[in-house]
Amino acid sequence: MKARIKFQKYGSMKFVGHLDIMRYFQKVFRRANIDNEYSKGFSPHQIMSFAAPLGVGLTSDGEYLDVQLLSADSPEVMIERINAALTEGFHIIGYRPLLETEPNTKTVTAMALVASADYLVSLKDGYEIGADINSKESFAEKFIKFMQSEEIVIGKKTKKSEMDVDIKPMITLVAFEEEDYEAKRRNTLEEHLKTEETSLSNKKPDSMAEVYENGIKIYLQLDTGSSSNLKPELVVEAFCESLGVAYNQYAWQSHRIEVYTRNSETGKLAGLDQVDR
């Protein structure tokens, strides 16, 4: 059987890279005595796949990991068992059994489902942007202006070459306050989730995003996945460039809030924990 696990990654664990996280979770499941399915051969490994690898330096409230199990307890018990085997910086907030793949159909990996993700990007205390930005109001004002340009072209490096890309269409949501973000976000979701989400909102776990005193921050929804992918750092870099100020990669903290899949018919989004496959 398949199950999708949703977890948070925060604090000093942002310095641990994706490959090490994979090794980490293999050991977590062993400690928690989870009945994972193993691949065959002389060096068997647990069958698992991550939806969207998180870069070093980023924190997250919405990481997804699909596992293949031979047996399992109820979601509540599974969450409890796995959490008991975790160290500070990781926390399981969701567990959803997935539908079995129909015979003779291709298995859909979590990674292939990913279409979009929400981020919170904050200016860390002790850093300045320049260009007379000294409050969250002046930041918002400049950013809105930045988003009003026809196109936002950046040089994007791929494995083979560097080419100019317009990233504006890849930015599907911009907000500066949490309430505004929540309202806009709901509009991007599939109909049945809008209400469901509201009713579950009191159950939502506390965000583990770092909070900074300066208050300068931005919520972004960006294309994510194999067909179109935009990292939040690139948006901030393009913004700084438009202002004519140097972009300091260490000045910003990016935090992933949620990862979505897109309904190809409606074009609407659903969190990866809201679907059964």
Partner 1 sequence: MRKLALSDEILLTIEKPARYIGGEVNMKMKDPSKVDIRFCMCFPDVYEIGMSHLGIQILYDMFNRREDTYCERVYSPWVDMDKLMRERNIPLFALESQDPVKDFDFLGITLQYEMCYTNILQVLDLSGIPLYAKDRTEEHPLVIGGGPCSYNPEPIADFFDFFYIGEGETAYNEILDTYKEYRKAGKTRKEYLERVAQIEGMYVPAFYDVKYKEDGTIASFTPNNEHAPKTVKKQVEMNLSDTYYPTAPLVPFIKATQDRVVLEIQRGCIRGCRFCQAGMIYRPTRERSLEYLKKCAYEMLSSTGHEEISLSSLSSSDYSCLQELVYFLIEEFGSKGVNISLPSLRIDAFALDVMSKVQDIRKSSLTFAPEAGTQRLRDVINKGLSEEAILGGAMKAFQSGWNKVKLYFMLGLPTETEEDIEGIAILSDRIAREYYTIPKDQRNGKVAITSSTSFFVPKPFTPFQWSRMITGEEYVQRQRFLKGKMREQLNAKSIKYNWHEAEVTELEGVFARGDRRISKAIVDAYQSGCLYDSWSEYFNYEKWMNAFVANGIEMSFYNGRERDTEEIFPWDFIDVGVTKAFLLREYKRAKSEKVTPNCKQACANCGAKEFGGGVCFEEDLCMADLEEVTDESKN
Q: Which of 38, 223, 4 is nearest to 108 (CA)?
A: 4
Query: Is 27 one of the binding residues for partner 1 (CB under 8 A)?
Result: yes
DSSP state at residue 102: P
Give the residue, chosen from 30, 145, 186, 204, that forms a contact with partner 1 under the rule CB under 8 A.
30
Give the residue, chosen from 3, 72, 85, 173, that forms a contact with partner 1 under the rule CB under 8 A.
85
Q: How far is CA 191 from the centre of its chain?
A: 22
Q: Please return the burial class of 15, using the count of CB atoms within 10 Å of its CB with bins 0-12, 13-18 and 19+.
A: exposed
Q: Which is nearer to partner 1, 19 or 76 (CB)?
A: 19
Name the E strands within 42-137. 48-50, 59-68, 90-98, 114-123
Q: Which is nearer to partner 1, 80 or 210 (CB)?
A: 210
Under 8 Å between Cβ of 109 and 66: yes
Query: Is 26 one of the binding residues for partner 1 (CB under 8 A)?
Result: yes
DSSP state at residue 266: T
Give the residue, chosen from 7, 29, 64, 176, that forms a contact with partner 1 under the rule CB under 8 A.
29
Q: Which of residues 249-268 bind partner 1 (CB under 8 A)?
A: 249-250, 253
Query: Is 173 one of the binding residues for partner 1 (CB under 8 A)?
Result: no
Q: Which range in 4-12, 98-106, 139-147, 221-229 contacts partner 1 by CB under 8 A?
A: 4-12
Return the SS3 of 23.
helix
Beta strand 2-9 with 59-68 is: antiparallel
Query: Is 33 one of the binding residues for partner 1 (CB under 8 A)?
Result: yes
Query: Is 218 one of the binding residues for partner 1 (CB under 8 A)?
Result: no
Query: Token pair of 149, please?
Result: 């340009």
Return the SS3 of 199.
helix
**Contact pattern for partner 1 over residues 55 through 84, marking x by CB under 8 A:** -xx---------------------------
Query: Is 206 one of the binding residues for partner 1 (CB under 8 A)?
Result: no
Query: Is 136 one of the binding residues for partner 1 (CB under 8 A)?
Result: no
Distance CA(136)–CA(56), nearest Å, equals 26
In the chain, count H helices and then E strands: 7, 11
Q: Which range in 38-46, 74-82, 135-143, 221-229 contacts partner 1 by CB under 8 A?
A: 38-46
Task: State the nearest-atom distance from the C-beta of 124 to partner 1, in Å.
Answer: 7
Query: Is 161 one of the binding residues for partner 1 (CB under 8 A)?
Result: no
Q: Cα dihedral angle (10, 15, 21, 24), rounded to 10 degrees?
A: -90
Query: Is 31 one of the binding residues for partner 1 (CB under 8 A)?
Result: yes
Q: Which positions lie near partner 1, rule CB under 8 A?
A: 10-13, 15-17, 20, 23-24, 26-31, 33, 38, 41-46, 56-57, 85, 87-89, 124, 249-250, 253
